[in-house]
Amino acid sequence: MSPTEGAAGAADPEPARAAQAAEEFRARFGATPDGIWVAPGRANLMGEHTDYNDGFVLPFALSQGTTAAAARRDDRVLRLSSRQEPGRDVELSLDDLAPGQVTGWAAYPAGIAWALRAAGYHLPGACIAIDSDLAAGAGLSSSAALECAAALALTALAVPEIRIPRPRLAAIAQHAENEFVGVPSGIMDQSASLLGQAGHLLMLDCRSGESAQVPFHPEAAGAGLLLINTRARHELSDGEYGARRAECEQAARLLGVPSLRSITNVADLDRLADPVLQRRARHVVRDNQRVHIVVALLTSGSGLGADYREIGRLITQAHVSLRDDFEISWPEADAAVEAAVDAGALGARMMGGGFGGSVLALVPDNAAGQVRAAVAAVFDRHAWTAPEFLDAVPSASARRMVLPDGMVPPGRDAPRYRTRGVTVVFRQDPREVLRAGT
Ligand code: GLA
């Protein structure tokens, strides 16, 4: 078995991915990176719009994610490039970073540098080349993956290396997104990317920050999770997300509690006179309850014989709640959920912030083909852009990648100088050239 093959003989995609990230860096910056970091996107089994209500979520890290190939510079300059954003490279001085100053994709890594500094950490400069296999707008948290990859790169390149516990790093990344980028998101996405574990869901208490790994093995019961990218774009900063957040905060204020997390009984919501606020709050209270029920179903007994039929039913129930009470679903998601369940999925629901992105379905292996076909057919009937399907497998969290020997692209030629009629070749490490800022 070659070193790039896993136990089952399947090729391990990681070395090729690392080599591609290094190549991307070389093409952009003309040298070899000091290191490559990767941060995954996330899916979420249960608990939507509960994180900023101090509630519970049950996300997991995906195998797809974002790489940051990076090298240190000592001049406090940040140079950023992304394979997905050709021609939109950015160069910034770390000393001048301020919210609102950077827009577009580069605001996320720049925001991380800003937030780390605001948290009291001293960073050197860096050149960072970004690459990603997460479709932007698919609702799989490509922005959190970008933040977390940049955070790992920047902290590792500092001298001495900055070591930050991951729950704290997730909070710093959320601070970057809230204050620097200007998106009022919660802490779920960064937590999943930094704390997820292969074969597990992350049960996160968003009030205390405490988390637990919940073993999740639907394959043992002949089922799996399928992501359906509905190809409808979502834009969290377009106001709807913030509006829902404001409604939840208003409901909590009217109920006299610090956050909706404090409400555990939906009957308590009768005190809300406004039917819209009542519906919003009902979704949050019930989704928190559903997180606990799913965890109980997964952890009772061995977990291997978990009642996936019941978990599927709860997933579809969550969709109805997101559609009717929270009112953040969209036509492609509703159609995908209905088609998937009709074709044999145990459950399906829209996932993430809403108004676009992906649907998550729990599908028995023997219905996988018909579920995909049924969803594709309904999209075709509506003349919508064909959906994309992705198997969602709980995977490892953000990490430094190992670049196998021989896969590092050669650095640029050593500089030559002529002095007293002799040619002197400086066999300088290309990284030294880069750090000098050339
Ligand atoms: C987005 C946000 C998260 C969370 C979800 C909804 O993904 O970034 O913090 O609020 O929406 O659950």
CB-ligand 1 contact for 188 (6 Å cutoff)? yes
Between the CA of 171 and the centroid of ligand 1 the distance, in Å, is 14
The pLDDT of residue 304 = 58
CB-ligand 1 contact for 355 (6 Å cutoff)? no
Give which of 132, 136, 180 is closest to 398, Cα–Cα. 132
Q: CB–CB of 49/326 below 8 Å?
A: yes
Q: Which two tokens stand for residue 187?
A: 């802490």
Ligand 1: which residue has its CA nearest to atom 8?
185
Query: Furthest-apart CA pair in the chain: how many Å?
Result: 91
Between the CA of 50 and the centroid of ligand 1 the distance, in Å, is 8
The pLDDT of residue 404 = 58
Ligand 1: which residue has its CA nearest to atom 9?
186
Q: CB–CB of 181/190 below 8 Å?
A: no
Mutate to test the pocket of ligand 1, among 188, 194, 284, 330 (most ligand atoms within 8 A of CB): 188
Atom number, ligand 1, closest to the C-alpha of residue 353: 11
CB-ligand 1 contact for 34 (6 Å cutoff)? no
The stretches of 226-302 forming alpha helices (DSSP H) are 240-255, 275-299
Between the CA of 414 and the centroid of ligand 1 the distance, in Å, is 48
Give which of 198, 119, 105, 179 is closest to 147, Cα–Cα. 105
Mutate to test the pocket of ligand 1, among 45, 48, 51, 178 (most ligand atoms within 8 A of CB): 51
Atom number, ligand 1, closest to the C-alpha of residue 44: 12
Ligand 1: which residue has its CA nearest to atom 11?
353
Ligand 1: which residue has its CA nearest to atom 1?
353
Q: CB–CB of 4/19 below 8 Å?
A: no
DSSP per residue over 92-125, as a string? EEGGG--TTS--GGGHHHHHHHHHHHHTT----E
CB-ligand 1 contact for 352 (6 Å cutoff)? yes
Residues 34, 54, 189, 325: which is the catalytic one? Answer: 189
CB-ligand 1 contact for 49 (6 Å cutoff)? yes
CB-ligand 1 contact for 357 (6 Å cutoff)? no
pLDDT tens, position by position, for the chain (438 residues)? 343 444 444 677 888 999 999 999 999 999 999 999 999 999 999 999 999 999 999 999 999 999 999 999 999 999 999 999 999 999 999 999 999 999 999 999 999 999 999 999 999 999 999 999 998 889 999 999 999 999 999 999 999 999 999 999 999 999 999 999 999 999 999 999 999 999 999 999 999 999 999 999 999 999 999 999 999 975 554 789 999 999 999 999 999 999 999 999 999 999 999 999 999 999 999 999 999 999 999 998 655 568 999 999 999 999 999 999 999 999 999 999 999 999 999 999 999 999 999 999 999 999 999 999 999 999 999 999 999 999 999 999 999 998 756 544 434 333 333 344 443 333 334 343 334 333
Assessment of whether the complete model's pTM goes beyond 0.85 = yes
Between the CA of 340 and the centroid of ligand 1 the distance, in Å, is 23
How far is it, in rounded angstroms, from Cα 247 to Cα 239? Answer: 12
CB-ligand 1 contact for 230 (6 Å cutoff)? no
Mutate to test the pocket of ligand 1, among 49, 193, 288 (most ligand atoms within 8 A of CB): 49
How far is it, in rounded angstroms, from Cα 287 to Cα 119? Answer: 33
205 in catalytic set:
no
Whether the ω angle into residue 215 lies within 30 degrees of 0, i.e. cis, is: no
Cα radius of gyration rounded to whole Å, the chain: 23
Between the CA of 29 and the centroid of ligand 1 the distance, in Å, is 34
